[in-house]
Amino acid sequence: MARLALVTGGVSGIGAAISKLLKASGYRVVANYFGNEADAQAFHAETEIPVRTFDVADFEATQTGIAAIVAEFGPVEVLVNNAGITRDSSLHKMTLEQWRSVIEVDLGGCFNTCRAVIESMREHRFGRIVNISSINGLSGQFGQTNYSAAKAGVIGFTKALALEGASRGITVNAIAPGYTGTTMVKAVPQAILDEIVADVPVGRLATPEEIARGVLFLVGEEAGFITGETLSINGGRYMH
C-alpha cells in the first residue's frame, strides 16, 4: 500500500502544492487545516484529498486528530509540518498574545505533530519528517522577532530529532523557503513586492510548486541518507 502522508496547513498556498504533488506522486495524502473551512472544502472538491481539522497549537487536539487519521487510514509515515501563522510587529509594540500565538503554532505545532507520530515511526523503523521553516528563520526580518524565533527554532528542533531518529530509519529535515508567490504574499502592496523581488538574485518569487518539489525529494525512499539538513529554496536571496 502507498505510504500515508499528513500535510499540516495543507489546503492552501505552499501546503496545497505539497499535498497535490505528493498525491500525484503516488502517496496517500491527508491535509490538515484549521479555521479556513471554505478553502478546505474547495481544496477537497478539487483534489479529492481527505481534509481533517485540528489546531496544531493544541497538544490534545493534535493527538486526538492524528489518532483519528491513523484509525481511518493507517500509520502516518510521512509528516510535513507546514502550518504556520504570522503576527508581525516590532518588538517594542508586540503583545504577549502575538508572541505566544506564533511560537505555539509555528514551533509548538512541530512538537505536537511529531510527538503524535514518532513512536509509530520508531516501531516501523521508517519515517520521513519535513518541517517548513523560512528564510527569515535564517536571516531574521524586521517586525518578525516572533516568527524568526519560531522558524529558527524549527531548524534546531529538526537537527535534534534527526539525531534521535537516525538509527530507526527516520529522517528529519527542514526546508527554508524564500518569498513565494502565495495569495498572502501577492496581497502585499505592489511597491513592497517590487522591493522584495529586487533583492532576489533570480529576479522573481518562488512558486509554491518549487517548494513542494523540495519536499517530494526529501520524503523519497532514496533520500534516506539525508537527515538533519535545511534545504534553502530562496533564489539566492540568502546564502548560509
Active site residues: 147
Q: Residue 226 has what pLDDT?
A: 98
Distance CA 237, CA 217 (A): 22
Which among 101, 64, 69 has a CA at the least distance from the CA of 85?
Answer: 101
pLDDT recorded at residue 121: 98
Query: What's the pLDDT score for residue 109?
Result: 98
List of residues 6+ apart from 29 with CB closer than 8 A: 4, 5, 6, 7, 10, 19, 22, 23, 49, 50
Please give the radius of gyration of the chain, using alpha carbons only, rounded to the nearest integer.
17
The pLDDT assigned to 73 comes to 98
| pTM greater than 0.85 | yes
Please tell me the predicted confidence (pLDDT) of residue 28.
98
Residues of the chain under the 50 pLDDT cut: none
Give the model's pLDDT for residue 192.
83
* CA separation for the pair 124, 169 (Å, rounded): 9
pLDDT of 135 reads 96
pLDDT in tens, 183-196: 878 877 898 889 98
Write the CB contacts of 68 (distance below 8 Å, at least 6 apart in sequence): 52
CATH number of 4-232: 3.40.50.720
Q: For residue 39, what pLDDT is reported?
A: 95
SS3 193: helix
75-84 pLDDT per residue, tens: 999 999 999 9
Give tens-digit pLDDT for 145-176.
999 999 999 999 999 999 999 999 999 999 99
Residues 6+ apart with CB under 8 A from 5: 22, 27, 28, 29, 30, 76, 77, 78, 79, 80, 219
**Is 26:20 a contact under the CB 8 Å cutoff?**
no
3-state DSSP call for residue 151? helix
pLDDT given for residue 103 in this prediction: 98
What's the confidence (pLDDT) of residue 142?
Answer: 93
Cα–Cα distance measured from residue 170 to residue 78, given in angstroms and rounded to the nearest whole number:
10
